[in-house]
Homo-oligomer: A and B are copies of this chain.
Amino acid sequence: MATIKDVAKLAGVGISTASRVINKSGYVSESTKIKVQDAINKLGYVPNETARAFVTQDSKIVALFLPSIHHAFFSELAYYIEDALDKNGYKMLLCNSTGNIQKELSYISMLKQNKVSGIIGISYNEIESEIHNSMPIVLVDRHIGTIPYVSSDNYGGGKIAFQVLKDTGCQHLAYIGSYSNSVLTEVEKRQKGFEDAAKEDGMDYIIYTEEDPIKDQTAFLKRFLSQYKNVDGVFAENDLMALELFELAKEQNIKVPEELSIIGYDGIKVYEVLKSKLSSIRQPVEVMGRSLVELLIKRIKGSYVTPVIHPVEFVKGETTR
């Protein structure tokens, strides 16, 4: 493997001049620039990134920190984040924290040792204090202190869901989902938007929630169906929950959407093969991914950034009238 020394020698210049050409930094005359470039080509020189990372104390690696990549929404988001990072010269390290606080802390320690450039994260724990001010970080769908974040318009999405259910003639509405006692999640704003819209409208509604994470979603949903037989319109926290409710309703011969309308949240593409069965509030996943990367890079460069909230849209499937 050729080193910068070899390049300098072959080009007949000093190491720092070679470095300047390689990094396009500082002043180099056109003629020496060409000499160095020639040497680089001849030797097939490529910089040793571990040496660079060591010297600059910056690995040009961004960590994506999430509970599990094995989740439709996250894996779609991860795809776009990786793509955007790559286009900006960063690599992506993937960390499945499994929501376990011990594992999250040990990951953070590892990330510091490896001098990652920054973190894009979703955490269910209050570990942010460990990182903030010591590393650039941008959160997804979490609003903690002054840490910048990117989310979809969860509140607005909740309002839209209410409106759609009402406009399509539902009389007895319910929100189903989970709540968190520790971290204030953006997800809960979906509920808030739904509730506020219902209150403004003066319509009654039911809130059926369990503490996050819900251990047995199937049991949770079955209980809901048997307990609230008169509900004819449901807004579920996310598509996975909505989809399972849809399946359970079919099993119990409840006609969807005639007797029960269902709206999910996410609009994840994995289920496109199902011919868009589910009505849902769709998050602009790709845009969010790019936006996360953009914000993080600004933070890395030291700029101050403000949260970004992306608009959502209702996508009609077959679970609403």
Contacts and interface: CB of A to CB of B under 8 A. Distances in A.
A76 B46 CA distance: 34
Q: How large is the interface on A (under 10, 10 to 19, 20 to 34, 35 or more residues)?
A: 35 or more
A51 interface: yes
Interface of A: 46-51, 53-54, 57, 59, 61, 64, 68-72, 74-76, 78-79, 82-83, 86, 91-96, 109-110, 112-115, 240, 243-244, 247, 251, 269-270, 273-275
Task: List the 8 closest pairs (A to B, CB-CB), nearest first.
Answer: A70-B79, A75-B75, A54-B54, A49-B113, A50-B53, A49-B114, A244-B273, A50-B54
A258 B100 CA distance: 46
B69 A91 contact: no
Nearest to A57: B50
A79 B69 contact: yes
Contact of A93 (B71, B92, B109, B112): B92
A82 B54 contact: no
Contacts of A49: 110, 113-115
A50 B274 contact: no
Contacts of A78: 69-70, 75, 94
Nearest to A110: B91
